[in-house]
Amino acid sequence: MYEYYRRYRWRSQPVHPLSTITGDVRFESHLGVNGIGMYCEPGDWITYEHVQSLFAALAWDNGLDAASYTDGYLQARFGPRAAATMREHYELTRTDPDTVGAAELLDRYGRAGAPTSPAPTSGSDSSRPAPPS
């Protein structure tokens, strides 16, 4: 079975319908499908790496829990210090653009890219080098 979970109309946005993928693989396995494939773009691999990794793992074990698998992936890929931040990023960017309005999508993506702490105000950043004299 060949699937196309990465769509050009998403314009490389980090959409990842993991529960859909998990459900599809389980359904297809009950039909007797014994091989799966998935389209991927090398130019935006990091955006979809966790999707493709889950898909490959499901090919071997269609009983995997997508959330648990993703937690393990985040720990292994980004380390314990960044895993929670990346989990939040993936949660905010997982939505299929075809299912929500533009305002919600912009809000989610804005929050996913927002700094975790307020930006320093002018003159308060002591790490900034002094201007040349």
**pLDDT tens-digit readout, 89-115:** 888 887 777 777 778 878 887 887 754
> According to the model, what pLDDT value does residue 80 have?
93
pLDDT higher than threshold 60 for residue 83: yes
> According to the model, what pLDDT value does residue 7 have?
66
- Give the Cα separation of 132 and 16 in Å (integer): 48
Neighbours of 16 (CB within 10 A): 25
Q: What is the pTM of this model?
A: 0.67
pLDDT higher than threshold 50 for residue 119: no
pLDDT tens-digit readout, 21-49: 888 888 988 888 888 888 777 777 777 88
> According to the model, what pLDDT value does residue 11 have?
62
> According to the model, what pLDDT value does residue 73 have?
93
* 103 or 116, higher pLDDT: 103
For residue 91, which of 19, 4, 3 has the smallest C-alpha distance?
19
- Give the Cα separation of 84 and 116 in Å (integer): 12
**Sign of the dihedral through C-alpha 101, 106, 112, 118:** negative
pLDDT tens-digit readout, 46-68: 778 888 888 889 888 989 999 89
* 19 or 23, higher pLDDT: 23
* 27 or 14, higher pLDDT: 27
